[in-house]
Amino acid sequence: MTQQNAPVEKNEILEVTFEDLTHDGAGVAKVNGFPLFVQRALPGETGKIKVVKVKKNFGFARLMEITETSPDRAEPPCPIFKRCGGCQLQHLSYEGQLKQKEKYVREVLARIGGLQDVRVHPTLGMDEPWRYRNKAQVPVGEDRGKLIAGFYAERSHEIVDMPSCAIQHESNDDVVQVVKKLAKKYGIRGYDDKKHKGTLRHVVSRHGKTTDELMVVLVTKGKELPNKKNLIEEIRKELPNVKSIVQNINPKRTNVIFGEQTEVLWGEEVIHDYIGDIKFAISARSFYQVNPEQTKVLYDKALEYANLTSTETVIDAYCGIGTISLFLAQQAKKVLGVEIVPEAISDAKNNAKLNEIENVDFAVGEAEKVMPWWYAQGVRPEVVVVDPPRKGCEESLLETMVNMNPNRIVYVSCNPATLARDLKYLEANGYETKEVQPVDMFPQTGHVECVAQLLHTGN
């Protein structure tokens, strides 16, 4: 039902000017101050829209016609851009994307963090902002009895069948197409998530950018995989650089991709890749950044902000598989990493061993509990690095960091909104945000990573 105070009605057709862009790529037009969100419209454009939904404080509309086009508008190279939910910004030039992400970070820091004057640098982008993803997780299903594999349509569970993806490495496209072809050949049924029937749920492909090694993961509903021997032989024949073929079994009714049971069908348990000089072993379920080229840019910036002189003790909270820890260890006296996921800590220890890095220790547990224990043992870090999930840091962790009184805090963030919230807390408790560097880890999408440097004010 249309709200009484809204100046627009459902199905109304309007001529509007777009003033802004949301972080997920929707144009924003205002009618008497009432915002309408319109997919694939850009700031500065005028156009005709049809209102499709009206809520109390905002509404949604469909773009019918653009009457004045932005100079930043680009032609999306992907034929299914309008249907697929994977990318939001292909219609915006890459230069426009980088500027938009900087603007978004600046505005969020001011609005949520009260940080109007903090220095925000221009977004660090890629020379080639396509084909950067080293990992594809592609759902498999059926459409009228025909096997399909692709990405989900925006805000739905309908699979859009596709031959290739413009942001995936070409090797991942090859894996998906080969498995799709062989599954059809050997009568392997796609998964129906409504009826919880079928065999093949997902194809996961992992590619080592520097090594060109490939891992193929077949996620199945049960242990049964028809024609397994032939399937393995043909995958090896069609994909010469495959080093690992793995089956993961997920019998549950769930949106989660992986099940608990993983079995190597052929080859190695891991593939390898490098970020800078650090070598990483990547298993089917390892967390590993999907854009290793920009990960190095991000971590180099974190290292710069840590400003290490080989005399410091550093704590890396939310250390994951040790990616940042191992970078820091090259310039620190000692690095202590903590992470709640036991498998990640196991990977971190293996990666340290792989690189013969000995000045790191890793602990399993909640950072806000492990760090005070370290403090009680006499650990006094000069630098604390945090790289939390999207929800940001727990307040208890922020409090723990403040109590440890490091000279510098380096905050790596995948969500500018929670970064702003947490910086506000740290600013109120003896730290000053010196600068923030946005890094474009996911070109063509609305996501932006940031690295922030905070210095102790001495108060």
User: Do the domains 13-68 and 135-282 sit in the same CATH topology, yes or no?
Assistant: yes
Query: For the purposes of burial, counting CB atoms within 10 Å of the CB of 170, is it exposed (0-12), middle (13-18) or buried (19 or more)?
Result: exposed
209 contacts 293 by C-beta, under 8 angstroms:
yes
- Per-residue pLDDT at 270 exceeds 90: yes
Find all residues with CB under 8 Å of 74, minimum gap 6, and list them: 90, 91, 92, 93, 94, 96
Measured from the Cβ of residue 96, the count of other Cβ atoms closer than 10 Å reads 19
Domain 135-282 has CATH 2.40.50.1070: yes
Give the model confidence (pLDDT) of 398-440 as tens digits.
999 999 999 999 999 999 999 999 999 999 999 999 999 999 9
Q: 49 forms bridges with which residues in the sheet?
A: 14, 63
Which class does domain 13-68 fall in?
mainly beta
Give the model confidence (pLDDT) of 121-137 as tens digits.
999 999 999 999 999 99
Q: pLDDT-derived band of residue 23, with 50, 70 and 90 as boundaries?
A: confident
Instruction: Based on the residue annotation, tell me whether 165 is a catalytic residue of this protein.
Output: no
Which class does domain 100-126+291-456 fall in?
alpha beta
- Give, as one character, the DSSP assignment of residue 344: H
Please give the model's pTM, rounded to 2 decimal places. 0.93
Kind of pairing between the strands at 313-317 and 46-54: unpaired
Question: What is the number of alpha carbons within 13 Å of residue 269 lying toward its C-beta?
Answer: 6
Pick the catalytic residue from 78, 165, 393, 414.
414
3-class DSSP assignment, residue 29 = strand
Instruction: Enumerate the domain spans of the chain.
Output: 13-68, 100-126+291-456, 135-282
Residue in 456, 321, 292, 296 with CA at minimum distance from that of residue 384 = 456
Separation CA 292–CA 4 (nearest Å): 50
Give the model confidence (pLDDT) of 304-358 as tens digits.
999 999 999 999 999 999 999 999 999 999 999 999 999 999 999 999 999 999 9
- Give, as one character, the DSSP assignment of residue 168: B
Separation CA 313–CA 309 (nearest Å): 10
